């Protein structure tokens, strides 16, 4: 097979580790766009291996498929993306990833303490979140989301 013939869906599945059904789903979601050969079979660019790999990694970082589609829309559709193309979308993701990293660090460092969720089940909660004051800032684990305990 030459590069210009494209990859069959089975070859793409073997290379990415994704099920054929997952590849078809990602195609339906607009994350990859195959073409049809003369026999009507789907064919994929080798660059779709990287796109699908990005999808798998981005999902692990919590991006939704619409968010991933938005990021990938910054890549050219008419040619194989260059390193420069990937740098551009990487720069756009940096702030999001930095924020996620900060949240994960806070989670790692504070999960055994009061996180401002309102459960008031830990002894530290009476000190850091008396009478569930964190609730005034909104729902969820307020201190893990970046709010600071009063006091």
The pLDDT value recorded for residue 109 is 86
* Average pLDDT for 1-10: 76
The pLDDT value recorded for residue 29 is 95
Whose CA is closest to 59, among 84, 26, 99, 105?
A: 26
What does the DSSP 8-state code read for residue 142? T
Q: How far apart are CA 107 and CA 89, in angstroms?
A: 27
Query: Which residues pair with residue 44 across a beta bridge?
Result: 7
* Average pLDDT for 126-135: 90
Contact (Cβ atoms closer than 8 angstroms) between residue 116 and residue 147:
yes
Q: Would you state the structure tokens that stand for residue 94, as one six-digit string?
A: 């940096």
Task: Give the mean pLDDT of the chain.
Answer: 89
Give yes or no for residue 112 having a pLDDT over 60.
yes
Query: Which residues pair with residue 43 across a beta bridge?
Result: 35
With bands split at pLDDT 50, 70 and 90, how would you rate the model's confidence at 1?
A: very low
The pLDDT value recorded for residue 12 is 97
């Amino acid at each position: 097979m030459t590069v210009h013939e494209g990859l069959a869906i089975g070859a793409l599945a073997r290379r990415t580790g994704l099920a054929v059904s997952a590849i078809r789903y990602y195609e339906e979601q607009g994350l990859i766009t195959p073409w049809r050969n003369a026999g009507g079979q789907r064919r994929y660019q080798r660059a779709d291996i990287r796109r699908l790999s990005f999808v798998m990694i981005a999902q692990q970082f919590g991006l939704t498929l619409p968010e991933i589609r938005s990021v990938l829309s910054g890549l050219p559709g008419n040619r194989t993306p260059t390193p420069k193309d990937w740098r551009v979308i990487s720069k756009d993701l940096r702030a999001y990833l930095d924020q996620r990293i900060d949240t994960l660090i806070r989670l790692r460092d504070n999960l055994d303490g009061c996180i401002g969720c309102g459960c008031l089940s830990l002894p530290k909660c009476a000190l850091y979140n008396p009478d569930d004051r964190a609730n005034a800032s909104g729902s969820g684990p307020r201190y893990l989301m970046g709010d600071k305990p009063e006091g």
